[in-house]
């Protein structure tokens, strides 16, 4: 066995985090959080909201996956001159202070009540921290719900056969731009039009953009939701529900076109839908694919080939069926947000006992994800192993994880990095 010598020098293994801390300061997050959330504490000695967000951000960007990991890292953060960051307990208290009261909606049909948490201030801060979307641009907005298992005090049992929450999230090109939390047993269509109205109006007013196209799955297929969306975007694409009930009507259709979508052949056609909203006519793009058995052979019955039908409702009458289906299928990239938030930024380990408090955590880590996108997009130009689409693990491996030590020399503080990777000089010189 090789001889081991333990040295007590103040060397950190996460030297890249000091550049990230500089970027956080230069972007003015401290002043921004104070302008939106107000000043924290009356004595002037309390940690600011910006410091609380910073402590959480830097912890996750070093590989932490829960609030408690902050305590294992703050000593290394404090090696940076003139840096003082709060502990995990202070961060937890600070996040709870940002909690907003739930809104309770009562169902007219069942008489049951369901809680929503809109997190208005944090949604506004989320958009003002952006800097990733150019004002005046025309954007594509995606919306989806995700069930988050959470065995918390107020978590409700869902049809997903577990207790948890059912938040809805909006994104633009992978950038999270809004969200609201809901009880886990809430139907996804229940008051969704109110959620979308709040999110879409906030996006257009805060970012100064035009919502060109809107995409959502069949959980947004209802009269009220479609009316809300159509008045706030130019074109929408929503997966139509209950396609099976229309199979008989689809079988009677004669004008099918064969196209290739996603490397597979299928038949497509379009029909008018005039009975959804009075005085309105929409286009229903219908896609049919033959149902196959385990051996890949087409299944048949007395009527011939058995087809699986999928439909998209839209107000776009000019694009081809293939273009509409292809564009709609690209929303799978936005669904990747949930995987990233769950596995990289803590959504699978919600820290608090109540929905409103956990909504604060989810909103703050959504801001963290957007901040991470900003970092990786800028750093990847110089750090060749990284791509703009790299996940957090690769970012930590190729940039954050580098031995470093602060030294005082020539009456100034100097950060020594112990590495043969030359790209650090280019990044830290900025």
The helix-helix angle for 120-128 and 29-37 (nearest 10°) equals 150
The helix-helix angle for 49-61 and 88-97 (nearest 10°) equals 120
Please, which pLDDT band fits residue 409 given cuts at 50, 70 and 90?
A: confident
Q: What residues contact 231, with CB distance under 8 A and at least 6 apart? A: none
Predicted pLDDT of residue 57? 95
- For the whole model, what pTM was predicted? 0.92
Structure tokens at 193: 């039009």
Q: 200-244 pLDDT, tens per residue?
A: 999 999 999 999 999 999 999 999 999 999 999 999 999 987 666
Predicted pLDDT of residue 303? 66
275 pLDDT above the threshold of 90: no
Mean pLDDT of 137-154: 93
pLDDT > 70 in the chain, percent: 97
Predicted pLDDT of residue 208? 93
316: helix, coil or strand? coil
Predicted pLDDT of residue 302? 60
DSSP letters spanning 329-387 = HTTHHHHHHHHHHHHHSSGGG--SSSHHHHHHHHHHHHHHHHHHHHHHHHHTTT-TT--
What is the bridge-based pairing of β-strands 235-239 and 257-261?
unpaired
Which runs of consecutive H residues, i.e. helices, occur in 208-296? 223-230, 247-251
**More reliable by pLDDT, 250 or 198:** 198
């Amino acid at each position: 066995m090789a001889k081991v010598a333990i040295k007590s020098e103040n060397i950190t293994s996460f030297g890249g985090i000091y550049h990230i801390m500089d970027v956080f300061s230069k972007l003015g997050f401290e002043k921004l959080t104070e302008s939106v959330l107000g000043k924290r504490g009356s004595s002037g000695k309390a940690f600011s909201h910006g410091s609380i967000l910073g402590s959480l951000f830097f912890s996750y960007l070093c590989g932490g996956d829960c609030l408690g990991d902050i305590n294992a890292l703050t000593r290394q953060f404090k090696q940076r001159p003139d840096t003082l960051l709060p502990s995990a307990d202070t961060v937890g208290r600070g996040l709870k202070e940002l909690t907003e009261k739930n809104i309770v909606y009562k169902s007219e049909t069942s008489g049951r009540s369901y809680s929503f948490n809109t997190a208005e201030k944090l949604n506004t801060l989320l958009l003002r921290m952006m800097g990733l979307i150019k004002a005046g641009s025309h954007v594509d907005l995606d919306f989806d719900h995700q069930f988050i298992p959470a065995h918390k005090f107020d978590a409700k049992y869902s049809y997903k056969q577990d207790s948890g929450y059912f938040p809805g999230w909006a994104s633009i090109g992978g950038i999270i731009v809004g969200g609201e939390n809901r009880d886990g047993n809430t139907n996804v269509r229940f008051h969704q039009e109110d959620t979308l109205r709040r999110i879409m109006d906030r996006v257009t007013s805060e970012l100064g953009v035009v919502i060109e196209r809107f995409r959502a799955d069949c959980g947004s297929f209802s009269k009220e939701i479609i009316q809300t969306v159509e008045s706030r975007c130019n074109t929408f694409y929503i997966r139509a529900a209950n396609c099976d009930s229309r199979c008989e009507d689809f079988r009677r259709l004669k004008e099918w076109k064969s196209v290739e979508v996603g490397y597979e052949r299928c038949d497509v056609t379009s029909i008018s839908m005039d009975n959804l909203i009075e005085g309105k006519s929409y286009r229903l793009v219908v896609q049919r694919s033959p149902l196959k058995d385990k051996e890949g052979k087409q299944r048949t019955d007395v009527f011939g080939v058995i087809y699986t039908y999928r439909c998209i409702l839209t107000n776009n009458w000019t694009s081809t069926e293939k273009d509409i289906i292809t564009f709609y299928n690209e929303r799978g990239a936005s669904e990747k947000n949930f995987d990233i938030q769950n596995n990289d930024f803590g959504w699978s380990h919600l820290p608090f006992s109540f929905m409103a408090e956990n909504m604060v955590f989810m909103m703050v880590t959504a801001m963290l994800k957007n901040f991470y996108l900003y970092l990786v997009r800028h750093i990847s130009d110089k750090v060749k192993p990284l791509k703009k689409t790299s996940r957090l693990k690769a970012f930590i491996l190729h940039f954050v994880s580098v031995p470093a030590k602060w030294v005082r020399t020539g009456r100034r503080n100097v950060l020594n990095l112990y590495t043969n990777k030359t790209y650090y000089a280019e990044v830290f010189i900025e």
